[in-house]
A and B are shown apart, each in its own frame.
Chain A
Amino acid sequence: MLPIVQHPAAAKEFVNDPNRSRWHDQALWFVRSKRDKQAASLPEWEYLRETASGIKTHTIANLAHYLQEFERNATARGAVVHWARDADHHNEIVLRILRDHKTKRIVKSKSMLTEECGLNHYLEDNGIDVVDTDLGERIVQLRGETPSHIVLPAIHIKKEEVGDTFHKHLGTDEGASDPKYLAEAARGHLRDKFLAGEIGITGVNFAIAETGGLVVCTNEGNADLGTSLPRVHIACMGIEKLLPRQRDLGVFTRLLARSATGQPITSYTSHFNGPRDENSELHIVLVDNGRSRLRESETFRAAMHCIRCGACMNTCPVYRRSGGHSYRATVPGPIGSVLSPTRDQNSYKSLPYACSLCGSCSDVCPVKIPLHHQLLAWRGELVGKKLLPLSKRLSMRCASYLFRFPALFRLVGKVGRFALRVLPRWATHNRLNVWTIARELPEPPKESFHQWHRRHRNH
């Protein structure tokens, strides 16, 4: 079990290195700006968001029905559907399929679900060679890290650092950091891995109940190569990825890439309708892992709408400056700060507070999850369970009393302003007063508005 890390402490090093945090902020703002241009190019953008939200609300409300319909139709197409109640169960199912095929080498395209389940470590511990084929994921895999963003897994790494990693693992020239050169080296390296891969594992962006088909969106075509060469394809998906009908899909593909990277559509939108021929197999693993519990919650249920576009991360001013790893969770940023405490309130209790409540995430979300209101709601839940430190709860209790007694409020204000005027600077601006570590205190006025009003308006 990992120690509980508070977000402010976990973010400290990243945010206080301007070379990193400002560069990271700019890189993500660039993606956010591309998204704005694409969203503005569709007059029906807000209508699409509303429609997508409605479809998701309906699907989640009737989830059992659509899951059964999906299973029926996928099975009729020749796929094998597996049900996993949690991460361990999911990992066991995948390993069993690999063992049934006596496989030691798999190629995997990007899947946040398998990250959530810790599949890579589990398979490696069981003697399987796992190769992530998404370039960003391969970079973090070679470095022994985890993705810091759900769409841009290596966004926290500079090209010079990628050059060093590739020099060490792929034998590229020392000091080489030209992105084109590095990408070519990765292509050559991954091509061999693709050819050697015996089973391909992919995530799933959308599953369609009406057809039993799956849709996987990538920009690198790695999911296609990873499922075209091997004979067996294992697709792992959370149960919330479902859409009722084929015609619903267009609403989501139009929103997904525009929101994620500011592209009109991903380079590859691949449809898998059953195994590709009679010699092939398609296994679909449907994973719950806490989703049914989340579905029971009136307050947080809408978080199941998430299509994992990452737009809330790109727009989040806290995420942009603190980096994805500061969240210590598979899914970082605003949606991660809503989802993580549903799994473990104690470990992730600082995340709902890693937010200035600016609301940009709620406005950018293509499926209209009220993210900042959910983060606020989490704070109430955490305080109710006494998971906020006592010192903070006591300070709010004191503030509450102060605001209930106006005469006391005025007296404390008067004393405070007087103290600010007469005390020496070292007594007010020091490390103990966190406000003043980076900022000056306001210059205290001689009288409050209340005092001014008594002198000038009260008759």
Chain B
Amino acid sequence: MTVALFVPCYIDQLYPDVAIATLELLERLGVDVAYPDGQTCCGQPMANTGCETDTAPVARRLVDLFADFEAVVCPSGSCVSMVRNHYAAYFDPEDAKFQHVTSKTYELCEYLHDVVGVTHLDVKFPHRVSLHQSCHGLRELRLGQSSESMTPRENKVRKLLNLVEGIEWVEPDRPDDCCGFGGTFAVNEADVSAEMGRARIADHCDKGSEVLASADMSCLMHLQGLIRREKNPIQVMHVAQILSGRPLGAA
């Protein structure tokens, strides 16, 4: 079985190490991974702005590109949610390629937890870590239990990180308040977005976290931008980087 690696546009261009770490991690776990040429974006920026006619052809491209693979894995909860939960608006429900891709696209942690069933990782990360749970991973993909919901769910991201030796967990007061990235929201509502981000960073810093880890690099891009501007004593890392054994400061 060959799975396709889907690398979101901003990871490809700005955070290639997150994709490299994802690829290396999957390869090390014995997954046969291909990186189909010609991939760009899932279409979420246009879709979330409401520009549906601009989204449709981009979504079509993605589905055609990945239709021949048994599964698609992507290190971003937000992009996966776009494909799984929002693509229906752009396709004929009977379209076989659409049905296949929308149901077989996995977020990285979800794939490792549900499909590969990882129980052992030979990596160390001896640092104080706090988890930033991205909203789309949490509330659209249900990678864990959101604090509003009373339906018990295990946290797949945390369970995987618990396989890493040496992590000392640090718990923020608000486990899943939004960081304020929100795609174009970060620019449309720049003041509110920045204030939301500052509150998240302060919460994690105050508890003594060294590393703010997340399965969504887009949240981290926004938070890192604020951290660098305000010189906060904390770093960000994508979960894939920690799981693949990268040292502190790789992002």
Contact = CB atoms under 8 A, between A and B. Distances in A.
Interface stretch (B39-47, B114-122, B164-172, B240-248): B39-47
Question: Chain A interface residue count: which class?
Answer: 35 or more
Given A15-B195, A402-B40, A453-B35, A360 B61 contact: no
B49 A360 contact: no
Interface string B15-58: 11101100100000000000101111101011111111011011
A394 to B, nearest CB: 10
Interface stretch (A98-106, A129-137, A164-172, A374-382): A374-382
Interface in B111-138: 135-136, 138
A381 B51 CA distance: 9
Interface stretch (A55-63, A197-205, A301-309, A441-449): A441-449
Given A16-B191, A29-B174, A379 B135 contact: no
Contact of A360 (B15, B46, B178, B192): B178
A419 to B, nearest CB: 12
B96 interface: no
Contact of A413 (B13, B135, B151): B13
Nearest to B57: A404
Given A16-B191, A452-B16, A357 B182 contact: yes
B192 A322 contact: yes
A127 to B, nearest CB: 42
Given A356-B178, A383-B51, A403 B9 contact: yes
Contacts of B58: 400, 403-404
Nearest to B134: A358
A354 interface: yes
B148 interface: yes
Identify the interface centre among A393, A403, A450, A453: most chain B CB within 10 Å of its CB.
A403
A416 B13 contact: yes
A356 B181 contact: yes
A46 B150 CA distance: 6
B50 A449 contact: no
A138 B147 CA distance: 34
Interface in A57-105: none
B190 A8 contact: yes
B48 to A, nearest CB: 6
Contact of A442 (B15, B186, B195): B15
Nearest to A438: B194
Nearest to A381: B50
Contact of A383 (B14, B49, B174, B180): B49
A353 interface: yes
A8 B191 contact: yes
Interface stretch (B66-74, B154-162, B207-215, B217-225): B217-225
B189 A8 contact: yes
Contacts of B182: 355-358
B20 A452 contact: yes
A402 B177 CA distance: 33
A434 B61 CA distance: 30
Contacts of A180: none
A404 B150 CA distance: 42
B13 A383 contact: no
B188 A8 contact: yes
A440 B13 contact: no
Contacts of B48: 357, 376, 379
B191 A380 contact: no
Given A409-B9, A452-B20, A317 B180 contact: yes
A378 B50 CA distance: 8
A425 interface: no
A459 interface: no
A393 B51 contact: yes
B235 interface: no
Contacts of A447: 16
A318 interface: yes
A2 to B, nearest CB: 21
A397 interface: yes
Contacts of B146: 359-360, 363
Interface residues of B, number: 73
Interface string A1-33: 000000110011001101001100100010000
A403 B19 contact: no
A268 interface: no
A291 interface: no
B223 to A, nearest CB: 9
A364 interface: yes
Given A438-B194, A449-B16, A396 B49 contact: yes
A356 B195 CA distance: 13
Identify the interface centre among B40, B180, B222: most chain A CB within 10 Å of its CB.
B40
A444 B14 contact: yes
Interface in A390-420: 392-393, 396-397, 399-400, 402-404, 406, 409, 413, 416-417
Contact of B185 (A353, A384, A457): A353
B14 A442 contact: yes
A442 B139 contact: no
B16 A438 contact: no
B190 A403 contact: no
A437 B197 CA distance: 13
Given A379-B50, A383-B49, A402-B40, A358 B190 contact: no
Given A321-B195, A379-B48, A400-B55, A413 B189 contact: no
Interface of B: 7, 9, 11-17, 19-20, 23, 35, 37-41, 43, 45-52, 54-55, 57-58, 61, 86, 135-136, 138-140, 146-151, 174, 176-178, 180-183, 185-197, 199, 221-222, 224-226, 228-229
Given A354-B192, A406-B37, 6 more contacts: A8-B189, A358-B139, A359-B146, A380-B50, A439-B228, A453-B23
12 contacts: A29-B177, A354-B192, A355-B182, A356-B178, A356-B181, A363-B148, A400-B46, A400-B54, A409-B9, A417-B14, A438-B191, A438-B194
Interface of A: 7-8, 11-12, 15-16, 18, 21-22, 25, 29, 36, 39-40, 42, 45-46, 315, 317-318, 321-322, 352-360, 362-364, 376, 378-384, 388, 392-393, 396-397, 399-400, 402-404, 406, 409, 413, 416-417, 434-442, 444-445, 447-453, 457
Closest 5 CB pairs of A and B: A379-B50, A439-B225, A356-B182, A400-B54, A359-B139
